[in-house]
Amino acid sequence: MSATQTQHLIFGSTWPQENMIIKYCSLQQSFQKVPINTALKINNWSCAIPYKDNEILITGGLGNTNKIISNDVYLFNTQTNQLSQFSQFTQSRYVHQCVSHNDKVYVLGGRQYGPDFESVLSHCEVYEGGVWKTISPMTKRRSNFGVFIYNDQIYCIGGFDGKKNTKSIEYYDEVKNIWVRSKIRMPRGLAGFHLIPLENEKIMIVGGMTLQGPSQACIVLNLKNNTCVSYSQLNQIRSLFHMFRDEFGNYIVYGGMNKQNTFELFNYENKIWEEFLINMDENVQEILNQNLRGMSSVQQVCRVENYQQLMQQKQELQLQPDDVVFMFGNDEYPFILPLPKQPTENLNPLEVPTQLCMYSYMSVCSIDAELPNCRQILLAGGIDSKISQINKKAYLVTIIFPEMKVKVKKVGKLSYHRYAASCVYNAPYVYFIGGRGYQNDVLSLHSTVERFNIDEEEWDQIAPLNEAKCSMTANVIGEKIYVFGGYVGEGQISHKIECYNEQSQEWDVLNIELPFSLEGLSSIVIDDQDLFIFGGKGFDGSKKEIIRFNLDDLESNQNVSGQIVGTLQHSRSLPKPILLDDKNVLIIGGYFFDNPEINFGEMFNLDNPEDSNNEYANQIELAIIQMGANDSINLFSITN
């Protein structure tokens, strides 16, 4: 590694027009000003890269106003601290990318002056043979995007395209002088992020700006398999921030749009981001506080290689399809986490094919698999992690055992945008019941019910519920579909139970009721005889009661209510119950309105409610923490 590569420098100017270069010293873990005396103007929002030994190229940038955009290129010598003029490129630009590859320098994308869409560039140039030459434009306009080298080709990933943050990826075919859209893509549109190369053709996407704002999520993208999985999250939300690799191989991030002048270091061994203390004098601290966002730091190119993983993986369990349930993440934290019914410490998330768009409050339902040694799950609906865009897409996910390979197939769309809907399987149909869409509190609620025929792969609609509602629970017992409780709008919560009557093809409101009004409740069925409801939220807050309904009681439809057979250790709304065997239920997550600092999960023994063991819940919590997703557990979905 050259001396240039082991130094981290920040370039820019302070108001009114003072050139500024700040250097990070790894041994002292401190930032220091670099003395410089030059009449040349260093622009903010430029792109700086290592060029040759002891030399850095500083390209383009933005002047004192957004109308002054530069095509200047400077050469900075890290030994003499001298700044000199380099050959100018053709197109003025800022928030672009610059990369040195195969003895050539490429300048890609960025922005010029003008409105969003018109100002964002697809224009590209290469410095070769002492001159700048225009090459083929990218297929998409991009600013604040990422760049990496893979298979000896330049890849551009994400960025702002003038209208939105894109998830697309493309690469440059130097022989044909064309940009090619890659089949690989990010799980969601993102700009202003950084990339870290990992083992076995993987990169980590760190932070960035989503449509809804800055993110602290980190996602690992497997370029070989076109899959992704959530990783340890940053401690702070960050976009348009700075990142560098020190001489010890550590990646350190700091800054961002919200001016977080805190520092974080990525711990490879523990796979977590740790707060990191860096020393700086008051003068440097003041400069960074006022100017850090627009200043440019030297970027090390992200080169993705196929080298072996340094850390040994735990031995994977040999599971069968009936031995496990699955938790699904969302767009911010994409993952599929197998949860064996036999408690284990070996919990490793599966990588998600990038064509599977995952959402919060998605409806998820296991179905009878057509093929041996596999599990099939239907997913549909949901809302993005920032609660702004509601989904209609539906997917059939097949998980092949024992290697747990994930395959995805699109199976059309729901007729309505819906999330927080109930979903049940009653062969050969998967039913999507109620939920909510756009518009206000009342108008957003659905009474509509639609279903997907697994055999014919066709959608149709059936009779609506008697109440429009969301956040209810539904289950199948005695080959009939029952819907319990739910939120019905304007602060009202239902205590009613509805049953789908196959003969009349209508929903019947039963005489039997919940003992009190509930939304955000969850249920499981044991031996097709008993249905248990866990937690929920009533008018007086979250609940801890466990309610039992017997099949005979439901079918008799007498004017009674369910029987309270026990209580959880803590009140929980939207808990996720997992039936481990015919006696033990693991309950994880849930909103805790009365006490947010309580246990992540708990075990409930149906024969002995006093017998509780939370060890397995703690193991699941640890696995989710390692993915950085522990604060979002209640947005995720779990199979029945």
Cα–Cα distance, 227 to 224 (Å, whole number):
8
Cβ atoms of residues 132 and 90 within 8 Å = yes
CA atoms within 13 A on the CB side of 236: 22
Query: Is pLDDT at 211 greater than 70 in this prediction?
Result: yes
Q: Global pTM? A: 0.87
Count of H-run helices and E-run strands, the chain: 5, 51
Other C-beta atoms closer than 10 Å to the C-beta of 527 total 8
The larger pLDDT score, comparing residue 626 to residue 453, is at 453
Share of the chain above pLDDT 70, in %: 92
Q: What pLDDT band is residue 268 in, cutting at 50, 70 and 90?
A: confident
How far, in Å, CA of 488 to CA of 475, rounded?
A: 19
User: What does the pLDDT average to over 567-573?
Assistant: 89
Contact 495, 518 (CB under 8 A): yes
Mean pLDDT throughout 33-50?
85
Domains of the chain: 3-304 (2.120.10.80), 321-638 (2.120.10.80)
Instruction: Reply yes or no on whether the pLDDT at 514 is more than 90.
Output: yes
- Using one digit for the tens of pLDDT, what is the confidence trace for 395-419? 999 999 999 999 999 999 999 999 9
How does residue 249 score in pLDDT terms, banded at 50, 70 and 90? confident
What is the C-alpha to C-alpha distance for residues 151 and 186, in angstroms, rounded to an integer? 18
Tokens at 182, concatenated: 């890659």
Question: If we measure between CA atoms, which residue out of 571, 567, 605, 609 comes closest to residue 585?
Answer: 605
Give the length of the chain: 640
Structure token digits, residue 251: 């990646």
Residue 40 contacts by C-beta under 8 Å, 6 or more apart in sequence? Answer: 19, 72, 74, 83, 84, 85
The pLDDT score that the predictor gives to residue 612 is 67
pLDDT, one tens digit per residue, over 294-303 is 788 888 889 8
Highest averaged pLDDT of the listed ranges 201-215, 271-285, 413-427: 413-427
pLDDT digits (tens, 9 = 90+) for 170-197: 999 999 999 999 999 998 999 999 999 9
Residue keyed to tokens 């200043």: 295
Please tell me the distance from the alpha carbon of residue 563 to that of residue 492, in angstroms, as a whole number: 23
pLDDT of 597 over the 60 cut: no
pLDDT band at 312 (very low <50, low <70, confident <90, very high): very low
Residues forming beta bridges with residue 267, ordered by sequence position: 272
Give the Cα separation of 390 and 381 in Å (integer).
Answer: 7
Please name which of 258, 306, 300, 327 lies closest in space to residue 627, comparing C-alpha atoms: 327
Spatial CA neighbour of 430 closest among 502, 339, 367: 367
pLDDT score of 306 = 61
What does the alpha-carbon distance between residue 280 and residue 527 come to, in Å, rounded to a whole number?
A: 65
Q: 358: closest CA among 333, 385, 331?
A: 331
Q: pLDDT band at residue 2, thresholds of 50, 70 and 90?
A: very low
**pLDDT band, residue 491 (cuts 50/70/90):** very high
Cα 21 to chain centroid, rounded: 35
Query: Is there a contact between 223 and 150 (Cβ–Cβ < 8 Å)?
Result: yes
Q: Cβ(610)–Cβ(305) under 8 Å?
A: no
262-285: average pLDDT: 82
